[in-house]
Amino acid sequence: MSEPVPVGVIGAGRIGRLHAKNLRQIRGARLAAIADPRLAAAEQAAVGNGARATEDWRELLQDDVIRAVVVCSPTDTHATIIEGAAAAGKHIFCEKPIDLDVDRAREALRAAERSGVRIQVGFNRRFDPSLGRIAELVRRGEIGTPELVRISSRDPHPPPIDYLKSSGGLFLDMSIHDLDMARHLVGDEVREIFAAGSNLVDREIGRAGDIDTATITLQFRNGALGVIDNSRRAVYGYDQRVEVFGSNGCLTVGNPTPTSVSLWNENGRSSDRLMDFFVDRYAESFVIEMEAFIDCIRVGREPTATGLDGVRAIELALAAQRSLQERRPVRLVMERPRERLGP
Ligand SMILES: NC(=O)c1ccc[n+]([C@@H]2O[C@H](COP(=O)([O-])OP(=O)(O)OC[C@H]3O[C@@H](n4cnc5c(N)ncnc54)[C@H](O)[C@@H]3O)[C@@H](O)[C@H]2O)c1
């Protein structure tokens, strides 16, 4: 077996620390360095992993040993870092969204395409064993033609307000996972989108110009429909449910709980609380997506969640924003799914 792929992680916040920890367990990879302007955070994430810490991602890119980077810095830094990594010949895993501006995202992806490096976008839910399985069953025709997809995706609590301010808002930060999942499950592009949103959870979020509660209706080119609902606050835990209904049946994924025990007594029936948040609910998916990325580098395969998938999801999130602002359905003009990024 060839040597493990040396990887650098850029950004040692919530998701950077998680990927750094997972990289340690992945046999085909070796965590080589972590960069974060908060050096103490980088050092903390590097400790015990045999990795070095640096304040500067540009310095990390100069390290000839490193073959791939995992971009986990705030969203508004991703495009610049992708371009830097592409110029340095490093393969790229980039957290979602690629950028808040779709043209900027395309520009960065073209830089990666020109330099011939692989790029995978952090749509980890595609790699969740249950969601991955329903996608496979849909593809195999087990429910006939998919006609409806329903996704409920509710966070237990909002993220810190400073994070929200640079996140691009609910559609680009949170719904983007659901928009990607809907596209992935139906296997077609969206023709029209209609979004509604409210500020019901925290006034601070409204003051920051964002919403915390939303519904999104999708119509795909093949006529299938999708409904997504999002909230930044579910008092009972992280609520993630998906259903695909088709001409020959239906597939559902519910909420896993830490155990499957249910207690029945004179008060009724109770079971474990839902998982806390994405770190727990999607723990396996984060490992599997990183294994898949490393595997793509090792065998020279195209990733499953591509740069183009990242662009499509941004287009959908921006169309949802526009629909909310203009209070009307928005039509999307898109090329075929597997077309290149264009000039
Ligand atoms: N796939 C998922 O489920 C998922 C979950 C959470 C976050 N994300 C995405 O990951 C990104 C980071 O989110 P987070 O929650 O970890 O944020 P965070 O605020 O917890 O962490 C960001 C880190 O990046 C560091 N940083 C800032 N500028 C930097 C730079 N130029 N170079 C290197 N590091 C820099 C910050 O100091 C901080 O430590 C966002 O784009 C977010 O959308 C994805």
CATH number of the domain residue 263 falls in: 3.30.360.10
Q: Which regions in the chain score pLDDT beneath 70?
A: 1, 334-343
Strands 146-154 and 239-246: antiparallel
Give the per-residue pLDDT at 334. Answer: 65
Judgement on whether residues 106 and 255 belong to the same structural domain of the protein:
no
Give the per-residue pLDDT at 114. Answer: 97
205 Cβ inside 6 Å of ligand 1: no
Distance 96 CA to ligand 1 centre (A): 10
Give the per-residue pLDDT at 343. Answer: 40
Atom of ligand 1 nearest to the CA of 122: 1
In a domain, 199, yes or no: yes
Give the per-residue pLDDT at 254. Answer: 97
Give the per-residue pLDDT at 1. Answer: 54
SS3 letters for 298-320? HHCCCCCCCHHHHHHHHHHHHHH
Judgement on whether residues 29 and 89 belong to the same structural domain of the protein:
yes
What is the C-alpha to C-alpha distance for residues 39 and 95, in angstroms, rounded to an integer? 21
Cβ neighbour number for residue 35 with a 10 Å cutoff = 28
In a domain, 338, yes or no: no
**Considering only CA atoms, which residue is closest to atom 39 of ligand 1?**
13
C-alpha angle 277/312/140, rounded to 5°?
80
Judgement on whether residues 191 and 208 belong to the same structural domain of the protein:
yes
C-alpha angle 95/100/103, rounded to 5°?
105
In a domain, 18, yes or no: yes
Neighbouring residues of 9: CB distance < 8 A, sequence distance ≥ 6: 16, 19, 20, 23, 31, 33, 34, 35, 45, 69, 70, 72
- Count how many domains the chain has: 2
11 Cβ inside 6 Å of ligand 1: yes
158: containing domain: 125-276+306-331
Does the predicted model carry a pTM greater than 0.85? yes
Give the per-residue pLDDT at 47. Answer: 85
Q: How far is the CA of 97 from the CAs of 43, 133, 148, 175, 300, in angstroms? A: 26, 24, 25, 11, 24
Give the per-residue pLDDT at 342. Answer: 46
Judgement on whether residues 118 and 203 belong to the same structural domain of the protein:
no
In a domain, 250, yes or no: yes
Query: b/e map of 223-251 (b: 16 or more CB within 10 Å)?
Result: ebbbebbbbbebeebbbbebbbbbeeeeb
16 Cβ inside 6 Å of ligand 1: yes
Domain containing 112 — which CATH number? Answer: 3.40.50.720
Judgement on whether residues 150 and 213 belong to the same structural domain of the protein:
yes
Judgement on whether residues 90 and 169 belong to the same structural domain of the protein:
no
Judgement on whether residues 212 and 155 belong to the same structural domain of the protein:
yes
In a domain, 281, yes or no: no
Give the tokens for residue 258: 């830490």
In a domain, 38, yes or no: yes
In a domain, 283, yes or no: no
Atom of ligand 1 nearest to the CA of 278: 3
In a domain, 269, yes or no: yes
Judgement on whether residues 177 and 244 belong to the same structural domain of the protein:
yes
122 Cβ inside 6 Å of ligand 1: yes
